[in-house]
């Protein structure tokens, strides 16, 4: 198996668990992070989600997952395509969440970009519809 194929297999399993657990498989994600991971989200531009800021290192990322669990309930997280080249893997998919305070639902395409080294995620960045997220959080 090529390194690209191995990286895709690692991420497919992580997303399968993420979807099936409705966002509760944080421990599995932690098991595939490199100690010096750099982690970010396009959601950092939304004032109500300060936990979506850039994170460096494993400890800092816990804030992101605490914020997600506090503010959102996952409806689904579906992967549709994985594209791998060298150490980079991009996942294209769709997800839906309910904002806990407002009850509003968000349905959005999502793209997740990863860099991998020795089977571990060294870099992660996510892209999705931030306008829907902001509107759902405003109540």
User: Average pLDDT for residues 20-33, to the nearest whole number?
Assistant: 96
CATH topology of domain 3-137: Nuclear Transport Factor 2; Chain: A, (3.10.450)
The pLDDT of residue 66:
93
The pLDDT of residue 2:
95
Local structure of 23: helix, strand or coil: coil
Q: How confident is the model over 29-73, as pLDDT tens digits?
A: 999 999 999 999 999 988 899 999 999 988 889 999 999 999 999
| pTM for this prediction | 0.94
Asked if 89 and 63 count as a contact pair (C-beta separation under 8 A), the reply is no
Q: Where are the domains of the chain?
A: 3-137
The pLDDT of residue 9:
98
Q: What residue spans of the chain are helical by DSSP H?
A: 3-20, 26-31, 58-71, 130-137
Could you say which DSSP state residue 46 is in? S
pLDDT band at 27 (very low <50, low <70, confident <90, very high): very high
Report in angstroms the alpha-carbon separations of 134 from 7, 29, 50, 109: 32, 25, 12, 15
The pLDDT of residue 119:
96
Q: How confident is the model over 71-130, as pLDDT tens digits?
A: 999 999 999 999 999 999 999 999 999 999 999 999 999 999 999 999 999 999 999 999
Q: Does the structure show a pLDDT above 80 at 139?
A: no
Local structure of 68: helix, strand or coil: helix
The pLDDT of residue 19:
98
Asked if 40 and 55 count as a contact pair (C-beta separation under 8 A), the reply is yes
């Amino acid at each position: 198996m090529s390194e690209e194929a191995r990286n895709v297999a690692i991420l497919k399993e992580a997303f399968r668990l993420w979807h099936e657990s409705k966002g509760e498989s944080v421990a599995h994600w932690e098991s595939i992070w490199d100690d010096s991971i750099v982690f970010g989200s396009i959601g950092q531009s939304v004032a109500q989600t300060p936990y979506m800021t850039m994170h460096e290192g494993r400890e800092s990322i816990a804030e992101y997952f605490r914020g997600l669990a506090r503010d959102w309930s996952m409806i689904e997280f579906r992967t549709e395509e994985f594209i791998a080249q060298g150490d980079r893997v991009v996942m294209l998919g769709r997800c839906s969440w309910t904002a806990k305070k407002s009850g509003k639902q968000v349905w959005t395409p999502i793209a997740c970009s990863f860099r991998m080294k020795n089977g571990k995620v060294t870099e992660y960045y996510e892209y999705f519809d931030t306008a829907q997220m902001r509107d759902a959080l405003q109540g």
